[in-house]
Amino acid sequence: MLSAELVKRLGGLSLSARLDIDAGSTLALVGESGAGKTTVLRLLAGLADPDQGRIALDGHTWFDRAGGISLPAWQREVGYLSQDYALFPHLSVFENVAFGLRALGTERSVLRQQVEAMLFRFHLQALTTRQPDQLSGGQQQRVALARALVLEPRLLLLDEPLSALDLKTRRSVRSELRRTLMALPSATVYVTHNPMEALFFGDRIAVLESGRVTQNGVPDDLLRHPRTPYVAEFMGVNLLQGTIAAAEAGGLVRVRTPFGSVVAADPGDVGEVLVALNPREITLHLTPPTGSAQNVFFGPIVELVPEPPFGERFRVALATSPPLVAEVTRHAVETLRLREGLEVHAAFKATGLVPYR
């Protein structure tokens, strides 16, 4: 179990974050560049020291500013994968993987055995004598992982491990990587700016905005109840912030936002609330809809973006008031002949919308 309180001022960044990660689980750490993700990793690894705070792993204190404890990186049982893997260019694959064990003075036959086992596990046994510059991106990543994991670290830090790979490699590698991470007894921090990776790899997701953790929870939490506009955008969900203004018939309430009001389910509460709206809940119509949807907004299409991988679904950004993003099928786009600039009616029911704080 990792427990960390980190306070650091670095350049223009003012970081103040608290993280708790259970052993065996993976925390996806997301945020914009400059938000402080790499700084967090470096502080946990011991490559830099926090101005204030504490870092403890399974009861061992690695850092405590108040207590004057500061273990250097080589005394922490941490594994670190930087974005470009930093494989030692002058050493072979075998020697790269063996590096840490050699640094610890491991006895020769034990070292050989452990390195070979690790190479086998990552399907690298045919590449032992190769140099890093002779390996593909995917192979380099596996070597970097093997190199870190052979030391059985208690904390594994991954800085955007898939970003250096091309799309095809990324796809073929990620399932294997996830299986590996899930089988690890260590706590893992997985830094990414890719929402899909965060959802795929993270048992929990922590969002870092300008040095502060604005939300930390299971993926479902962030999807259903995003707390900041950034989190909502990251999860691909519409977020409205407003106040409950009045009650409506049928167990509904009217929520007033700066851009207009929305009808939602009655949460049994009053005051300032957040409302999350999944884009798939929005239907688009060329003429005013006749269904039972209590919310209808009219506005032009600003952007029409096919969703990867096959463009079977489309994200439609609308300049309605409030602005909305809908997700519709290709079929709908073709049928309605949707295009940029076209003015449509966007409709969604109130019943699924539960305001929260």
Partner 1 sequence: MATISGRVLAGRVVTAFAAAGLLFLLVLPVLALLLRAPASDIVARLSQPAVFAAVRLSLLTSVCAALLATVLGLPVAYLLATREFRGKQVLEAIIALPMVLPPTVAGVGLLLAFGRAGIAGRALSLVGISIPFTTAAVVIAEAFIAAPFFVGAAAAGFREVEPRYLEAAATLRATPATAFFRVLLPLAFPSVLAGATMSWARAIGEFGATITFAGNLPGVTQTMPLAVYVALQTDLEAAIALSVLLVLLSLIILLVVRAVPFGPAAIRAQRRAG
Q: Which is nearer to partner 1, 39 or 320 (CB)?
A: 39
Determine the number of helices (DSSP H) and then strands (DSSP E) in the chain: 9, 20
Stretch that binds partner 1, among 68-76, 194-202, 340-348, 349-357 (CB under 8 A): 68-76
Q: Are 237 and 223 in contact (CB under 8 A)?
A: yes
User: Rule CB under 8 A: is residue 10 a binding residue for partner 1?
Assistant: no
| Shortest Å distance, C-beta 216 to partner 1 | 25
Residue 320 phi, psi (nearest 5): -85, 180
Tokens matching residue 174: 């990620």
Position 152 contacts partner 1 (CB under 8 A) = no
Number of Cβ atoms within 10 Å of the Cβ of 73: 14
- Total residue count of the chain as it appears in this document: 357
The residue within the footprint of partner 1, chosen from 82, 186, 216, 238 (CB under 8 A), is: 82
- The reply on whether position 99 binds partner 1 by CB under 8 A is yes
Among 3, 16, 25, 131, binds partner 1 (CB under 8 A): 131
Question: What CA–CA distance (Å, rounded) separates 229 from 238?
Answer: 8
Binding residue for partner 1, selected from 13, 60, 74, 305, defined by CB under 8 A: 74
Give the residue among 128, 88, 127 at the shortest CA–CA distance from 112. Answer: 128
Q: Does 325 bind partner 1 (CB under 8 A)?
A: no
* Residue 71 vs 296, nearer CB to partner 1: 71
At closest approach, how far in Å is the CB of 135 from partner 1? 12
**Would you give the binding string for partner 1 spanning residues 27-46, x where CB under 8 A is met?**
------------------xx
Give me the helix-helix angle, 137-149 and 167-183, nearest 10°: 20
Buried b (16+ CB within 10 A) or exposed e, 205-225: bbbbbebbbbbbbebebbbeb
Cα 112 to Cα 58, 77, 180, distances in angstroms:
29, 21, 22
47 near partner 1 (CB under 8 A): yes
> Site residues (CB under 8 A) for partner 1?
45-47, 72-76, 78-80, 82, 84, 86, 88-91, 99-100, 102-104, 131-133, 147-148, 151
